[in-house]
Amino acid sequence: MAQNKILLRQTEHFNNIPEEFIPALPEPGKVVVFQLKEAIFDPVGGKNGGPITKYPADWQFPIVSRFKNPKTGEWISIALLSREDKDGRPVVEGEDREVLSWRPNDTGGYFRITSGNNMTHDAMYQYLMLCSDIEGNDLTDEMRDPSRTVTIRLIDYEKQAQRDLEAQNLRWEAVKMALNMTPQQVKEVSYLLGNGKDMKEAQVLASVRGFAETQPELFLEYLKDVNSPLKARIAQAMDLGIVQLDTVAKKLRWSDGTKREIMSLTSFEPADIQSEYAERCQEAEFLKVVDAAIADQIKKKEAPAKPTNAAAKK
């Protein structure tokens, strides 16, 4: 319980924080790292004309912030202060002022707090974990003051390592599934990616596997989407010239001499057309008549050309 003790100076207007929101201090000796987000990349300003990331020479921590109590809706004002003046404004003096003085360019943009080393730093840690100007701290989006500008991020190496591990696992899962896809699945994902009939088999496979590796989450969504075959079918039909867009009337039509209407469209974006087509296919009659006809036309287009009489005689 001692870890949840408020270390910030409490005054009439500041740091009256409900116990449930008081940040617990990290284990003694643990180093907590914050990084200033404001930086300028100079490609030639470094040593021997090399690249360097520059930070402001001096930086003043925001000494006043607030967060919302999600249970009551009340805004709770917090401050890094030595005392409150007669007008209710925070005043920073002496050692507190020294702690708040930071030269980011001398530290590579990092500010480190070692838990348990200094009472003032521990209090500062509690403040920063509740400050709306800090990214990655204890505040949820609901608690954060939207009027504040996020200027500093908390770097949690353990959480970052966990996120990296989860991303690696997701990528490996996607690549594994890509390696075991059926030819039909490869073709469907390829059309969903916007590839066309002119791509060679090796190009298609490389494109799909590359997609699985670089965008694993979206790749897995494609495979799990029960409508992906329908979306891929209309994309292929458009690529093969079986259907066409009527941009004036905002219709999808057959490309034969009749130019019969297939369906109305709300957008000409390929993904939107595919989604609208899949939605129409939920209608039994449309699926039975239109989708079946499109599938039949695709099958005819993909069928190997029959040899001519002259070629057969040879």
CA dihedral 150, 11, 82, 33 (to 10 degrees): -30
151, 241: one domain = no
State residue 100's pLDDT score: 78
Count of domains observed in the chain: 2
Report yes or no on 263 lying in a domain: yes
In a domain, 197, yes or no: no
Looking at 108, 129, 155, the residue that finishes a domain is 155
Q: Which pLDDT does position 157 carry in this prediction?
A: 80
pLDDT at site 33? 93
Say yes or no: 44 and 148 in one domain.
yes
**Residues spanned by the domain of 110:** 2-155
| 3-state percent breakdown (helix, strand, coil) of the chain, nearest 5 | 45, 15, 40
Give the pLDDT score at 52.
Answer: 81
Residues belonging to the chain: 314
Whether residue 12 sits in one domain with residue 150: yes
Are 131 and 236 in a shared domain? no
Whether 55 is in a domain gets the answer yes
Residues 114 and 8 in one domain: yes
Q: State whether 11 and 124 are in the same domain.
A: yes
Token pair 């521990």 is found at 122
Q: pLDDT value at position 1?
A: 36
pLDDT of residue 314: 54
Say if residues 150 and 133 touch (Cβ distance below 8 Å). Answer: yes
> Within this chain, do residues 37 and 149 fall inside the same structural domain, yes or no?
yes
Report the 3 state secondary structure along 258-287.
Answer: CCCEEEECCCCCHHHHHHHHHHHCCCHHHH
In a domain, 179, yes or no: no
Could you count the other beta carbons within 10 Å of the beta carbon of residue 143? 18
Element (H, E) at 289: none
Would you state the structure tokens that stand for residue 109, as one six-digit string?
Answer: 């943009």
Q: What is the pLDDT of residue 2?
A: 44
Question: Does 210 reside within a domain?
Answer: no
Quick one: 132 and 253 in the same domain? no
Please report, in tens digits, the pLDDT of each residue of the chain (314 residues total): 344 788 999 999 999 999 999 999 999 999 999 999 888 888 777 777 778 888 888 888 889 999 999 999 999 999 999 999 999 999 988 877 877 778 898 998 999 999 998 888 999 999 999 999 999 999 999 999 999 999 999 988 877 788 889 999 999 999 999 999 999 999 999 999 999 999 999 999 999 999 999 999 999 999 999 999 999 999 999 999 999 999 999 999 999 888 899 999 999 999 999 999 999 999 999 999 999 999 999 999 988 766 656 555 55
Final residue of a structural domain among 155, 189, 214? 155
Residue 41 is predicted with a pLDDT of 82
313 part of a folded domain: no
**Whether pTM exceeds 0.85:** no
Q: How far apart are CA 187 and CA 203, in angstroms?
A: 11
Last residue of a domain, one of 155, 178, 212: 155
* 228-239 helix and 292-302 helix, angle to the nearest 10 degrees: 50
CB neighbour burial string for 156-172, b if at least 16 within 10 angstroms, e if fewer: eeeeeeeeeeeeeeebe
Q: Does residue 182 fall inside a structural domain?
A: no
- Measuring CA to CA, how many Å separate 53 from each of 56, 205, 240? 10, 40, 50
Contact 126, 22 (CB under 8 A): yes
Tokens of 126: 């509690």
Tell me, what's the pLDDT at 311? 54
Task: For tokens 């004309």, name the residue.
Answer: 49
- Residue 167 within a domain: no
Based on the domain organization, do 241 and 100 belong to the same domain? Answer: no
